[in-house]
Amino acid sequence: MKSRSTSDGQPRRGWFQRFLILVNVSAILTALAGAYIINNSYGRIESIERVALGGSLTPAAGSSRPGERVINVLLVGSDSAATLDDDDPIGLERQGERNGDVIIVAHIDERDSSAALVSIPRDLWVPIAGRDREAKINSAFAVGGPAMLIETIEQNFGIPINHYVNVDFAGFQGLVDALGEVSVWFDQPARDWNTRTNTSQTGFQMLEAGCQPLDGPTALAYVRSRYYQTLDDDGVWVSEQASDLNRIRRQQDFLKQVAAKAINSGSRNPFVFDGLIDAAIEHVTLDQDLSPSLLLDLGGAFRQFDSNNLQAYSLPAEFGWVGSSSVLFLNPDQAEPILELFRGARPTDPRTVRVEMVHTSGTGEAADALARSFLIRGFGDIRVSPAPLLHSGIEVRYGPNEASVAQVVADQIAEPVRLVEVGGLPPRSVVVAFGQPVAPDEATVSETATDDLTDAVPADGSKTDANAPGEEPAAVSQDSGFSAASCGR
């Protein structure tokens, strides 16, 4: 076939060639636009509102060189409705006051590109810094702003706060909308509904189960719901128990989804990145030392971060009453290993693991000896108690998604052990169970357990009952986080 020519004798380009040229030109224009946006972002980040907290923030310890920094950032979601639309359900009955609705400390360790979150329940009853009284921790923010909240956290938990970020309602909506929508999995239809007033506080309603995309307003209503209900198979709306702690778990799960989409979209699409900055400019407040260069450095260092590796915790707490007010009281024994992580200890440090030991008749001396050796190695006080155990050999029991925590303990035991996943353990807690002695040729070492969250599941696939008849439960407490099915499964 002869190629067509122009009037000057030059061959005429075919449609496919013209298409390739168009694609290349578009790619070049997009790259140039991206370069402009990113270069321009430095100055725009500088325009984000700042608050002077020099006297309250703790300088980051250790190296300040990129790639070696360890930083704690206090993230506060304030429930000021001043910037929301007048007809927004969340803004009803609010006068623009700023309260700490969400309180999270983010721990960023550049040395191994790891990140962790710990949520502090807003109803946690603690001594307030600078005040001769106790109150719910979010009152520190309402009364004394971020400075008092930072000092209260450091005073009560020993966690150094290096930087501060505040996002208000409208800012949260804007960040989600800049990402285009964030998908969340719902096992059942759900809604926010206060049965005492027969009204919805946030307006959240999701009448379809499955993977559902949430826009900014819907996402905000979802993570703020304190009267969360699900529709059971009989068509009855059922209110969840432990609403404040479950709300924290939903928030953490949603933050993981946001982080995943922000990394996948914002780090690769300059226009999404630009939209995120636009959302931040009007609705985010930073401390005066959180520089644009540090923000861009951290964003670059974590652009390949897998949000599934984000460790999310909530401070273990128990319900109680102060007068007529429902509050939460910290469980210090269960909280200590989590707090050690945020004080700077590495995840393999014995201080970050809480260990209990149980033993059957005839293995008490071995359990006592191991507990003493663990104490010397830095694991702290270990409770040792008898229990009518039915299994043979030594089991190292751990909670969902915490096989790496169990491995820290297993590595310290010379005898063969079986790693067994169980439900009901507090975060970063491990139980070493000494069962009936076994002959050396019968002992085996197992690998990571399977993913059944209710019964104990040895790694070899054989299923045993962690709380079999006549056997003492390994531990009873809240689960170590919110585990929801992901939309990408």
Per-residue pLDDT tens over the stretch 91-101 = 444 444 566 78
13 pLDDT band, cuts 50/70/90, is low
User: Is 458 a residue whose pLDDT tops 50?
Assistant: no
Residue 458 to residue 300: CA distance in whole angstroms = 40
Residue 171 to residue 51: CA distance in whole angstroms = 17
pLDDT score of 194: 94
Mean pLDDT, the chain, as a whole number?
80
Which strand ranges, in their side-by-side order, compose the sheet holding 394-398?
Answer: 383-386, 354-359, 429-434, 394-398, 417-421, 457-458
- Lowest-confidence pick of 48-57, 228-237, 327-336, 362-371: 48-57
Between CA 109 and CA 115, with CA 113 as vertex, the angle to 5 degrees is 60
**Mean pLDDT over residues 302-330, rounded?**
88
What secondary structure, in 3-state letters, does 451-472 show? CCCCCCEECCCCCCCCCCCCCC
Between CA 263 and CA 274, with CA 268 as vertex, the angle to 5 degrees is 85
Q: Give the residue from 121, 98, 107, 99 showing the smallest Cα distance to 163.
A: 107
- Write down the pTM of the prediction: 0.76
Percentage of residues of the chain with pLDDT beyond 70: 74
What secondary structure, in 3-state letters, does 130-186 show? CCCCEEECHHHHHHHHHHHHHHHHHHHHCCCCCEEEEEEHHHHHHHHHHHCCEEEEE
Helix (H) or strand (E) holding 210: strand 210-214
